Amino acid sequence: MKTSTAIALLSGMAVMTGLAPFTVHADPSAQFVNEGGYAAVEPDRLWDEINKALSHASPQSAFLPAADIGPMPLAVIALDMSEHGLESVRYRIRYGTNWIDAPPSAAPLPISYIEVVRFNLGPAIRHDLIGALGEEHVAGEEEFGVGPHVGWRLVTRPVMGNRAMIMAAGRMEMGMQAAQGEVCLGSPCLDARPSIETAAAWGEMEPVGAVSQGPWPDTSGNVVAPVTATNLLLGEIDNIETDMAPSEPKIPDWAIEAVIEVNLGQDEGLDAAYRWDGLLDDSVAAIWERLASFSTGSGEPAVFRASAYECARGPEFAPPGAFCP
């Protein structure tokens, strides 16, 4: 069964029930999309569904619509096109690269491993309101969003003009007990309160100019969509450089963790940030980047960015606007 309207993928109103569990061979990519509660889905089918849903963007192009999308935005698209939309959520994206030996005379090949989990915070927000106002003064749970915590994993590689061709994919639903133990940039993933503001010693928020929406439908309303935020922060990343020699295929350690918080305040808004560690730098332990978007009432979302530097020695963070010693 296919989604009834492919273009509705980023509105979150379509469920891709057609991606049935898929049996794959026992290799690192297969292990990645089958462990931890995940069940593999057919990667070619997922790739085709994504390109079908994006086909409006460049109908005359010789390239597939998803050809120029990086690994992390692609994973967010896979989740958003497959799951019902929810109003108040927190995404956690994690990313690592496995460099493998390529055929003779070829450069080492980067294999990207991506996980994106979307936590439904509607029930947590309702619970907090009941505690403050009493249940008789709070709307029913359906008004806050009903749906599971869900995760998608992708393994991608560059292939013939496609930046992130899907090699393997898997989906899971996370139970409440498991979700309560998950951490997003140092804070509980199910915390209904915004956490990015205090996650790092941010520098001054600087306005971002014109925002390119990419080939996906713009369903964000007055703020940028999660996939747009992911693309602005992490869309240029196809791999993580390393000083290690290429190896046999294996599941890499996470190098980047990103969090996107959607509608956790009183007004419509999005706040996103990532932490990138494992740098080849003896001064900076991790780079942090932040992107926030809110409504201006003009129909165009306001977007701002900021940075922070986590130090390898001395203070935990460099003072805003300064660098690590």
Q: What is the pLDDT of residues 29-48, one digit of tens each?
A: 999 999 999 999 999 999 99
With bands split at pLDDT 50, 70 and 90, how would you rate the model's confidence at 219? low
264: phi then psi, degrees, rounded to nearest 5: -100, -5
For the chain, which residues make up each domain, given as ranges?
Answer: 6-311
Q: Return the C-alpha torsion angle 79, 82, 84, 86, nearest 10.
A: 10
Q: What's residue 105's pLDDT?
A: 65
Q: What's residue 280's pLDDT?
A: 85
| Greater model confidence, 31 or 134 | 31
Please write the tens of the pLDDT for every residue from 111-126. Answer: 999 999 999 998 988 8
pLDDT for residue 20 is more than 60:
no
Poorest-confidence range of 58-62, 75-79, 158-162? 58-62
Structure tokens at 149: 């915590």
With bands split at pLDDT 50, 70 and 90, how would you rate the model's confidence at 26? low
79: phi then psi, degrees, rounded to nearest 5: -70, -50
Percent of the chain with pLDDT over 90: 65
Q: Is the dihedral of CA 43, 47, 50, 52 positive or negative?
A: negative
pLDDT for residue 13 is more than 60:
no
Task: Report how far apart, in Å, the C-alpha atoms of 279 and of each of 172, 256, 259, 283, 311 are.
Answer: 31, 11, 20, 9, 11
Burial classification of residue 207, based on how many CB atoms lie within 10 Å of its CB (0-12 exposed, 13-18 middle, 19 or more buried)? exposed
pLDDT for residue 199 is more than 90:
yes
Question: Which residue type, as a one-letter code, is found at position 283?
Answer: S
Poorest-confidence range of 28-32, 92-96, 175-179, 208-212? 208-212
Chain mean pLDDT for the chain: 87
